[in-house]
Amino acid sequence: MISALTFTRHSLHAHYKAGGSPAEIIREAYRRITEAGDPGIFITLQPETEAIAAAEKLPPFDPVKFPLWGIPFAAKDNIDAAGLPTTAACPDFAYQPAEDASVVTRAKAAGAILIGKTNLDQFATGLVGVRSPYPVPKNAIDPALVPGGSSSGSAVAVARGLVTFALGTDTAGSGRVPAALNNIVGLKPSVGALPSRGVVPACRTLDCVSVFALTFEDAWAAFVAMAGPDARDPFSRAVPLAPQAVPEPQAVIGIPRAEDLRFFGDALQEKAYRAGLAKLESLGAKLVPIDFTAFFETAALLYEGPWVAERHAAIADFLKTHAASLHPVTRGIIAGAEKFDASTLFRAQYRLAELKRATQAIWKQVSMLAVPTTPVSPTTADLAADPIVPNSRCGTYTNFVNLLDLAACAAPGPFRTDGRAAGLTFIAPAGSDGRLAAMARAFHQASGVTLGATGMALPPAGEFDDAGRDGLIEIVVVGAHLSGMPLNHELTSNGGVFRRAVTTAPDYRLHALAGGPPKRPGLLRVASGTGHAIATEVWALPAEGFGRFVSGIPSPLGIGTLKLADGSTPKGFLVEPEGLIGSTDISHLGGWRAFIASLAA
């Protein structure tokens, strides 16, 4: 039955492959919207007849050429869609765009069908989803809670299974907080990875278009279909789009140290966070407490610094004549821009540059961060009593991300003991989207939660869309560049993604080279029958990153072609025979990790 479909991309494409029609899926989407009975989710719906007509005009089913073929989606109502008004949740601001935003154009070109425009905190200013003149969307898990913002309607639409994916925006956490509060995936890409042309700006230099979905496979497919520079958007840029099928096996993940954990007295939220960390450890991750002082200071800049003035600049002309049209809380926040001058702006930029430099060293210690997506779960009653403080607390672990040019993925995790949703956000430098999605997906799968608020089981992990993988060069590492080892950051900082753990063919010997510390490995190919199978990892780098990486390899090491047990022959580390003078043959241990463990024993 169509009503039993999860609306995941996999389930819909299986339905189409079996002969189902996208028109009937679109009818089902509108039936679900009516049945949901929540007038706050959408501000404007595409007329059903027009959505069905778009479905009927699709080319023949080809999920490779059209990866989003027949997929219903929604867009936050600060993102332009031709034929529908853009309101940014301010009726007096509404206008009719002449063309789609870049991301909407690309989603449609990939076969997706737009259903409507969703509610938001007005002008994307807020993390709670209640600052709108329209009805407030109901949190899909617990109606007593706020839906999260500013992308409130987009998150609820996905969580309730009304659409397969929805577009949001994220400046301070708007693509992550609503995901956590509604038990769905929130993919916050590297800044500029998705063009923001055709998006009403909040802070134009920081804004990201984000993707909500029930699964990471769906979020990734939509992301890849829409990603890439736009010549008409000066803030767009190319980032690596290679997905990582599985997380690196021994990832070192930074977490806030004890004194940096802030739950504001919400013991159940803290308990859910610790349950999430236990899931991470069960996946083989090593958790390392990190000093979050610089991150928190960066977060404070967003609303206590001149970036508020950037929000003012986005709607300055409208504000001159329509100040009374703004939601009172929104107006109060944006009016705060009047206290900032150019000197304040430059001082803040200088301090931000210092904080960026201060945090760079962290990425040599850890592969990524794992933080509570939100440290509190505010109710609508909490916001009625205090419209500011609960909102600010929601941004504790989100506000710094875009300022520091980081990517992030919010993943559903173990629920709180009161039945409310929780989860973790994984954060790493720009260009790390694929690695983050792999770890976040593994965590999501391990958490055992259902799909959003649908009550349907999370399906087994499927394949990530392969688009964007072309052009990467595989490289085999055997020593300190292995995941979790001291030099792994030299791979990740060059756009590297983990491919697989595999041994060499049994034609190699591994040596601990003379000198040091630190100890260095030397892998040497030997005559057949005289070697061992040595544990390795295969990573993949974009050509530019590969060049930077190999240029720093010191003698007597070099790059050659390796023969692996899976039959592949990628490039990898080898040692020159002269480099073995004074070395220790450690081949019998089977790999560098075992050797390092033996030193500590």
Please enumerate in sequence order all residues whose Cβ is within 8 A of that of 572, keeping only pairs 6 or more positions apart, or say none: 475, 476, 477, 478, 523, 536, 559, 560, 561, 562
- Please check whether residue 71 is in contact with residue 112, taking contact to mean a CB–CB distance below 8 angstroms: yes
The tokens of 155 are what?
């998150």
Three-point CA angle 577, 583, 589, nearest 5°: 105
Dist CA 273 CA 291 (whole Å): 18
What strands lie across the sheet with 584-585, from one edge to the other? 521-525, 508-512, 584-585
Closest CA to 301 of 368, 373, 359, 353: 353
Tokens standing for residue 285: 């991750």
Q: Which residues lie closer than 8 Å to 324 by C-beta, 6 or more apart? A: none
Return d(Cα 477, Cα 546) in angstroms, integer: 13
Tokens representing 247? 């997380």
Helices and strands in the chain: count of H runs, count of E runs: 19, 19
**Residues with Cβ within 8 Å of residue 215, at least 6 apart in sequence:** 8, 9, 10, 185, 441, 444, 451, 458, 459, 462
Decide the pairing of beta strands 423-429 and 535-542: unpaired
Closest alpha carbon to 276 in 292, 261, 291: 261
DSSP 62: -
- For residue 323 the two structure tokens come to 């100040």
Retrieve residue 321's tokens: 């004549």
Q: Enumerate the active-site residues.
A: 76, 150, 174
* 3-state secondary structure (DSSP) of residue 386: coil
The answer to whether the beta carbons of residues 126 and 149 sit under 8 Å apart is yes
* Rounded Cα distance, 476 and 562, in Å: 8
Q: How far apart are CA 168 and CA 33, in angstroms?
A: 19
Residue that has been written with the tokens 């930077």 in this structure? 548
Question: Beta 508-512 vs 521-525: how paired, if at all?
Answer: antiparallel
H/E segment holding residue 330: helix 328-335
Closest residue by Cα to residue 497 from 513, 486, 483: 483
Start-to-end CA distance of the chain, whole Å, equals 59
What is the amino acid identity at position 599? L
Residue 198, burial from CB neighbour count under 10 angstroms (0-12, 13-18, 19+): buried
Alpha carbons 138 and 132: distance in angstroms, whole number: 13
Q: Which helix (H) or strand (E) holds 256?
A: strand 252-256
DSSP 112-160: -EEEEEE--SGGG--SSS---SSPPPPPSS-TTB---SSSHHHHHHHHT
Planar angle of CA 349, 393, 90, nearest 5 degrees: 80
Instruction: Answer yes or no: are the C-beta atoms of 421 and 148 closer than 8 Å.
Output: no
